[in-house]
């Protein structure tokens, strides 16, 4: 389908106001391009450890929106509303160049485009399959995990997720209580449940994780009561710590970036039973040493195993 794409060139300062004006007049799904570096919180949520070099931020932003010429939306009327909205905003903020370029594009479905690259695949004897795909005949006997991450992280394709899945296979026992920090789509918690765990408690900073986990529990036909998810940071939020509970977990898994694992490892032992394991990944090889040193400095843990896939590292430790 061909969409009309409209790109407004404005200032970075005006982007928030322009976005909410677009929202108010009924424009859905915008795309923002600027040279503002991502914040620390954004990079953690997006799982980017090394940021690309950006040209300097000169305060210019491009905000694009898409209109379907075959829908009921009258494009001319919508563009009049856009201009009226911009006139109003110009009284409060500098709109910069305020030019609108028009082009045509085949596809505006960037939220769903990745789905064409997500096909069933195996991690040893586990089959991970998008919810919308059929089970391949040759994998019918494998342990099945069905996933639709939505806009949360976690299709299972990432090396770090696979490293954690292999460690879960080694350590999860029937009836175990599992803590999944940075749960994303819930793929690790769901794998633990499929491996026999009794219950999972998940946390994530991204609220999309909450709905993704619930939907994926349903797709995997597991009682939703077995996987509780809470939005928040177990590192520094007392409520999240208390909701997770103390001295109770048999396995803890956290597939987050090294810069989160390092502060996190200090907080986790209080939630674990003695002798149980903490599986971590999300560690790029150049940060392996820093993570190992952090664990070595923590008297609560002893190192069990380090595993590798591509340039990614997983560190598993045991609570003494
Ligand atoms: C790489 S994804 C892992 C998702 C899934 N567990 C997997 O293995 O595919 C990391 C997740 O951790 C979340 N995250 C980052 N920092 C966090 C923190 N301090 N506490 C909880 N979640 C966090 C991100 O929002 C993201 O969903």
pLDDT in tens, 165-203: 999 999 999 999 999 999 999 999 999 999 999 999 999
The band of 46, judged by pLDDT with boundaries at 50, 70 and 90, is low
196 is in an annotated binding site: no
Q: Cβ(187) to ligand 1 under 6 A?
A: yes
Sign of CA dihedral 9, 14, 20, 21: negative
Q: Are 7 and 32 in contact (CB under 8 A)?
A: no
Query: 194: how many CB neighbours lie within 10 A of its CB?
Result: 16
Average pLDDT over residues 141-152: 90
Q: For residue 48, which of 153, 165, 129, 180 has the smallest C-alpha distance?
A: 153
Q: Cβ(300) to ligand 1 under 6 A?
A: no
**Amino acid 116: pLDDT:** 78
**Amino acid 302: pLDDT:** 98
Q: For residue 183, which of 147, 219, 218 has the smallest C-alpha distance?
A: 147
**Amino acid 274: pLDDT:** 98
The band of 109, judged by pLDDT with boundaries at 50, 70 and 90, is low
Those residues with Cβ within 8 angstroms of residue 277's Cβ, 6 or more apart along the chain or in another chain: 167, 171, 251, 252, 304, 316, 317, 318, 319
Order of strands, sheet of 272-284, starting from the edge strand that comes earlier in the sequence? 227-231, 199-204, 177-181, 249-255, 272-284, 312-319, 301-309
Map out the domains of the chain with their CATH numbers.
3-105 (3.30.70.120), 119-319 (3.40.50.150)
Q: Of all atoms in ligand 1, which is nearest to the CA of residue 206?
A: 25
Nearest CA to ligand 1 atom 16: 44
Average pLDDT over residues 134-161: 91
More confident residue, 292 or 105: 292
ipTM: 0.99
Locate 166 and state its tokens.
Answer: 């292999």
Q: Cβ(204) to ligand 1 under 6 A?
A: yes
């Amino acid at each position: 389908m061909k969409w009309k794409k409209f790109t407004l060139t404005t200032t970075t300062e005006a982007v928030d106001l322009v976005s909410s004006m677009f929202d108010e007049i009924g424009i859905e799904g915008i795309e923002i391009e600027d040279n503002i570096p991502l914040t620390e919180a954004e990079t953690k949520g997006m799982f980017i450890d090394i940021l690309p070099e950006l040209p300097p931020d000169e305060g210019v932003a491009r905000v694009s929106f898409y209109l379907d010429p075959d829908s009921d939306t009258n494009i001319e009327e919508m563009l009049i509303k856009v201009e009226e909205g911009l006139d109003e905003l110009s009284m409060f903020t500098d709109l910069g160049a305020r030019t609108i370029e028009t082009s045509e594009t085949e596809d505006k479905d960037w939220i769903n485009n990745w789905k064409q690259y997500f096909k069933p695949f195996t991690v040893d004897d586990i089959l991970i399959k998008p919810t919308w795909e059929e089970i391949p005949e040759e994998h019918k006997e494998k342990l099945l995990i069905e996933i639709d991450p939505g806009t949360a992280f976690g299709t299972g394709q990432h090396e770090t997720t696979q490293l954690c899945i292999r460690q879960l296979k080694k350590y999860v026992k029937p009836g175990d209580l599992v803590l999944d920090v940075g749960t994303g789509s819930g793929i690790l918690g769901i794998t633990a449940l499929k491996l026999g765990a009794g219950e999972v408690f998940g946390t994530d900073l991204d609220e999309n994780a909450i709905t993704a986990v619930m939907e994926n529990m349903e797709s995997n036909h597991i009682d939703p009561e077995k996987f509780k998810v809470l939005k928040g940071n177990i590192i520094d939020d007392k409520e999240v710590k208390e909701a997770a509970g103390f001295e109770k977990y048999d396995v803890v898994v956290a597939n987050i970036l090294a810069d989160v694992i390092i502060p996190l490892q200090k907080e986790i032992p209080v939630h674990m039973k003695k002798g149980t394991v903490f599986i971590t990944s999300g560690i790029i090889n150049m940060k392996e040493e820093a993570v190992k040193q952090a664990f070595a400095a923590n008297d609560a843990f002893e190192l069990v195993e380090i595993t590798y896939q591509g340039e990614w590292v997983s560190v598993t430790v045991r609570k003494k």
